[in-house]
Structure 1
Amino acid sequence: MFFADGNTVPFSRRLSALALGALLSLGSLAPAWANSADFVRSLWPQAEARGVSRSAFEKAFASYSYQPKVMELTRKQPEFSQTVQQYLAKRVTDGQASKGRAMRQEWNQTLTGAQQRWGVQPEIVLAIWGMETNFGGFMGGENTVHALATLTEGGYRTSFFREELLTALRIISDGHVSADNMTGSWAGAMGHTQFMPTSFMRYAVDYNGDGRKDIWNSVQDALGSTANYLNSFKWRPGETWGYEVKLPSGFDFAKARSMDRAPLSQWQAMGIQRTSGRAFPRPNDVGRLYMPAGASGPVFLLLPNFDVIKRYNNSDSYALAVGHLADRIIGGGDFATPWPAGDFALNAAQRAELQTLLTRAGFDTGTPDGKIGPKTRAAVIAYQNRVGLPADGFASGRLLQRLQR
């Protein structure tokens, strides 16, 4: 697909994909257990079976109490309504790029060593660090064990959070961090680059060689762990995430949709060129077309490394922001094509209204449900063809306004 995904969570509230399972359902505000003491006692046999020491277990729960504020946050996942342009504008700024360049100088030895070991370019690691915690500026202030325990005790995605909780206890027991210093987001994402406990166990590294994997206090460990994470999902060393491109006049959108992913040489044969005017360095690389603002805004051909970035946060908006920030850190500028003026993202009610108006105009979208699926996109394309608009299938705020006239 080459449409905007709309997953644009505000910077202060967004959790990485390492914590994405925490965001999928609503939870009860009332504890599922009669009291917290019973809940904690029930955990010990499972923790002991995982190799958690009794002393580590008791220290982790020494001051534990159920935290209603954590459960309340599970009920406050708002329906965000940002265009990709708005999402990037808050995250990819001159200030962030400048700070990234300063961090590159400060941590050059670590970043260079990580690239030699795992093949991930320094600017990508830096961009993720900047996106996740503003280069360590805010890593979350919740006690990780207590937050995960509250979510588990409260019956919110119980299996998921119990597994994360037991893993967090094992991390403490193994001596990587003390219970008091294991802090992060309300949903358990931890450290400079926001690893969930299970991801920590799989991908965190002791980069500085002190015997601990400390992503909270050791920038070296955090950056090395991030490079290892990306490498584990088959990062392609020395290759970029994608290219900004321009479409030729009369571009065949229907053919593009049928191609989905194709070698860059095939996209080039359709008239697509890089906005820089330079040739694609590897024409056989496979890419997909991405138009986050439809045909009237910046257009991209996305490469395999883009999908690796999405393993960190499964959002095209997030991965584009990481790639763009990385490019800005190494001296790149803004996108060549301006974003369309006056556009806005559609909320559920507006998407349902769009469907209703399309159906009234003779383009069947089925029952209006506020979800832009294949049938609605087909209706958008048919409408665009009728009125002479580029048939990109993009359900935008501007399209809704046109239908409302």
Structure 2
Amino acid sequence: MKKLLLPLFLLVAAPTAHADADFDACLARLRGEAASKQVSTDTFDRLTAGLVPDPTVLEALDRQPEFVTPIWDYLAALVDQERIDDGTARLKEWAEVLEQVSAEYSVDPATVVAVWGVESNFGRNFGSRPLIASLATLSCEGRRQSYFKGEFFTTLRIVQEGHIAADRLTGSWAGAFGHTQFMPSTFMRVAVDFDGDGRRDLIDSVPDALASTANYLKRAGWRTGETWGYEIRLPAGFDEGIAGRKARRPLTEWVRMGLKRIDGSAITPDDSSAAVLLPAGAEGPAFLVFRNFNAIYSYNAAESYALAIAHLSDRLRGGAPFVAAWPTDDPGIGRNERRELQQLLLDRGHDIGEVDGMIGSRSRAAIADEQTRLGFEANGRAGRKILDALKAGR
């Protein structure tokens, strides 16, 4: 038995040992570049001592939710009544700071708070991955190594310059951190010390985070007093080929084509340019978007992400939900409804873990089991259809 087990053990252990050796060799190469990246050798050695790679960040590299989740699910989870209520409370709680931020950077409080809500659920979800380990791994493996290497060295500089302690720098798999989830290079470029304590801190200073976010949007081209856009009604026979965020035309031209506001009222033409956005095609909600939408988009280059922040900011100002329905017979559900669905799954004996509104692998597997039983498509998706069926006791 020992002779049989030994080769099997080596087959399992060797790849790990090889991977660690490759990682150590990569760290040695990075150490040689540190001085040219304004990171001292002492800082590099201190912050990378005992560092091991985190292969799970590579699995996340191609699974960003804004690119793989149906938009009606994405928006249902991000712009639900719970987040609107939370955001309204934060607008009141931080009203004085937000007023000062708006006066300094000319970005309205609702937009800043919407970014805060979408990025970290108002400081509740910073992410738990140590940035240095994540970014070192991404600097050595996977695609976009050059980009992540720059973020890795910038993270070391953030600690070296005393802005944030290394043990406080936890965040997303890609290295974003703090209340409004800045990447390290973004932090260095636009973060500000708004509370006057001599440090730029997006983790333990809400004023710094809110002001830094407003500064980012201002630099991205935000125009004070202008809208990001609004929902519209398309004319019959509208050519989807001329839609798209980059396909900007003078507003007067869109008006001549017959575009109207969603309530049927006329759009007042002016000299601005705009684009038509069709996130689910011409059968779903349509939007006319302006320069401020692009400023939001630059924060995280996904149209669904920008639309979530734009819509949440409108809801925080007292605006209504979108009027047009998404082209699906199974709309998305918010976090309260997702928790309700999880409780129903638990009540039926499914081991899904905690009821938290986060639909993870165990929740998806349990949903798929119930969908199979009910004769639905077994896609594991948390939607209105499966929730209503389980609520009805089916």
Name the TM tier (shorter chain).
Answer: 0.7 to 0.9
Give the distance between the partners of 1:239 and 1:262, measured in 2 at CA.
17
Counterpart for residue 137 of structure 2: 150
Which piece of structure 1 moves more, 60-69 or 182-191?
Answer: 60-69
Equivalent residue number for residue 35 of structure 2: 48
Q: Could you tell me how far 1:76 is from its partner in structure 2?
A: 6.0
User: Cα–Cα, structure 1 residues 95 and 188, in superposed 2: closer, same or farther, change >3 Å?
Assistant: same
1:253 matched residue in structure 2: 239
User: For the Cα contact (< 8 Å) 1:191–1:215, is it kept in 2?
Assistant: yes
User: 2: CA distance between counterparts of 1:197 and 1:217?
Assistant: 16
Which of 180, 205, 228 pairs up with 2:215? 228
User: Which residue in 2 is equivalent to 1:310?
Assistant: 297
What corresponds to 1:216 in structure 2? Answer: 203
1:339 aligned onto 2:326: yes
Contact 2:37 2:153 in 1 (8 A): yes
The change in CA–CA distance for 1:282 and 1:223 in structure 2 (over 3 A counts) is farther
Structure 2 CA distance for partners of 1:161 and 1:113, relative to 1, 3 Å? same
Paired residue for 1:262? 249
Alignment check: 8 A CA contact 1:289 1:300 kept: yes
Q: Secondary structure at the match of 2:280?
A: strand
Write the letter of the residue equivalent to 2:117.
G
CA offset at residue 170 of structure 1?
0.7
How far has the Cα of 1:80 moved from its partner? 6.0
Cα distance change on mapping 1:268 and 1:32 into 2, 3 Å: same
Of 29-38 and 298-307, more deviation after overlay is shown by: 29-38
The one-letter amino acid paired with 1:321 is A
C-alpha change, 1:135 and 1:31, in structure 2 (3 Å) is farther
How far off its partner does 1:122 sit? 1.1
**Is the 2:243–2:275 Cα contact (8 Å) retained in structure 1?**
no
Does the 8 Å contact 2:84/2:312 carry over to 1?
yes
> Does the 8 A contact of 2:283 with 2:327 survive in 1?
yes
8 A Cα contact 1:120 1:227, kept in partner: yes
TM-score by structure 1 length?
0.70
Residue from 161, 171, 187 that aligns with 1:184: 171
Aligned length: 317
Name the SS for the 1:293 alignment partner: coil
Q: 1:174 to 1:91 in 2, by over 3 A?
A: same
In structure 2, the partner of 1:200 is: 187
- Cα distance 1:86–1:38, how it changes in 2: closer, same or farther (>3 A)? closer
- Give CA deviations for 1:81-105 in whole Å, capped at 9, x if unaligned: 5432222111111111111111111
Q: What code does the residue aligned with 1:166 have?
A: F
- Cα deviation for residue 29 of structure 1 reads 8.6
Look up the equivalent residue of 2:158 and give its one-letter code: I
Structure 2 CA distance for aligned equivalents of residues 90 and 255 of structure 1? 29
Measured against aligned partners, the alpha-carbon deviations of 1:189-231 in whole angstroms (never above 9, x if no partner) come to 1111111111111111111111111011111111111111111
Shifted more, 279-288 versus 102-111: the winner is 279-288
**1:172 alignment counterpart:** 159
Residue pair 2:240, 2:281 contacting (<8 A) in 1 also = no
Cα distance 1:121–1:277, how it changes in 2: closer, same or farther (>3 A)? farther
Aligned amino acid, residue 253 of structure 1: D
2:366 equivalent in structure 1: none
Q: Tell me the distance in 2 between the aligned counterparts of 1:266 and 1:326.
A: 28
Provide the secondary structure at the position in 2 that maps to 1:309.
helix
Query: Does the 8 Å CA contact 1:142/1:186 hold for their aligned counterparts?
Result: yes
Asked if structure 2 preserves the Cα contact closer than 8 Å seen for 1:31 and 1:155, the reply is no
What TM-score, normalized to structure 2?
0.72
Query: SS state of the match for residue 216, structure 1?
Result: coil
1:369-388 to 2 correspondences below 5 Å: none
2:297 touches 2:305 (CA, 8 Å); kept in 1? yes
- Given candidates 325, 329, 332, the residue that maps to 2:316 is 329
> C-alpha distance in 1, partners of 2:71/2:56?
30
User: Is the contact between residue 29 and residue 68 of structure 1 (CA under 8 Å) also seen in structure 2?
Assistant: no
CA contact (8 A) 2:251 2:271 kept: yes
Structure 2 counterpart of 1:103, which letter?
A: R
Equivalent in the alignment of 1:13? none
The verdict on how the C-alpha distance between 1:273 and 1:230 changes in structure 2, with shifts beyond 3 A counting, is: same
Matched, 1:162 2:137: no
Alpha-carbon shift at residue 38 of structure 1 (Å): 4.7
Answer yes or no: is the 8 Å Cα contact 1:47–1:169 preserved in 2.
Answer: no
The residue identity in structure 2 corresponding to 1:199 is T
Structure whose residues are more often helix by fraction: 2
Contact 2:217 2:296 in 1 (8 A): yes
How far the C-alpha of 1:128 sits from its partner, in A, is 1.2
Q: 1:7-22, aligned counterparts within 5 Å? A: none
